[in-house]
Amino acid sequence: MKLVLLPFLLFPSSYLWAETGLPALTVTTNADGTQDYSVSLQILFIMTALTLLPAALTMMTAFTRIVVVLAILRQAIGLQQTPSNQILVGMALFLTLFIMSPTLDKINTVALQPYLNDEMTSIAAVEAASVPIRDFMLAQTREDDIALFVRLADKEGQIESLETLPFTILMPAFVASELKTAFQIGFMIFIPFLVLDMVVASVLMAMGMMMLSPIIISLPFKIMLFVMVDGWAMIMGTLAASFGV
């Protein structure tokens, strides 16, 4: 008999939930048709969104172009583990923050501050925050890439303007454009180091030192050349300028 009553003793108010609803999971409909979610639901949405933050950082900011160019630069110099991956990612993160700061300022002005001041709902704040992000992504995305994914999504003739372009189409088009631009910049960086490798290899062959690896000889010269021309400042400046900063 006690075992039968145990569930009711453990959950004495369970029958009340069916009548009144769980207060932590409530949705309020406003007069204009919009909906407000309880704080518990908002926290749940935020924690879920945090799991997608790495993907959003990669697909919606300047991070992809920067980290790819830095990786190509390290390969061009011939240094396999220097700078380390942690340093490259840290440089890419802070340079991304520098490049994205105007966009983040707009998001803070049009979305975050009005939401914190209870001047707009959470849904309206998300919609307002998406506008500066969309403007940044559209400014860096090639029209050919957009047209490609619009065609693949079978949306030709259904999208009136770029402002109504869905993020499901804009994000892959943006990533494709970023990768193309990153490899173009990486190619231009690779050429001087490749020429130096060829010159060193030719000199070694002319001297009959064919068994000596040209990389051993060319690596100090490539590092010296990169330092003499203030390479890090040039790379950072080129990356920032490529975004119009």
Same domain, residue pair 138 and 234: yes
Same domain, residue pair 81 and 159: yes
Ranges of residues in the chain whose predicted pLDDT is under 50: 1-22, 24-25
Same domain, residue pair 23 and 83: no
Same domain, residue pair 45 and 56: no
* Count of domains forming the chain: 2
Is 69 in contact with 235 (CB distance < 8 Å)?
Answer: yes
Q: E strands within the chain?
A: 27-29, 35-37
Which residue range forms the structural domain that includes residue 214?
52-242
Same domain, residue pair 23 and 91: no
- CA pair distance 40, 22, nearest whole angstrom: 11
- CA pair distance 95, 105, nearest whole angstrom: 16
> What pLDDT shows up at residue 2?
43
> What pLDDT shows up at residue 184?
92
Could you check whether the bond before residue 83 is cis, i.e. omega within 30 degrees of 0? yes
Give the number of other Cβ atoms within 10 Å of residue 178's Cβ.
24
Same domain, residue pair 102 and 175: yes
Does the model's pTM come out above 0.75?
no
Is 209 in contact with 230 (CB distance < 8 Å)?
Answer: no
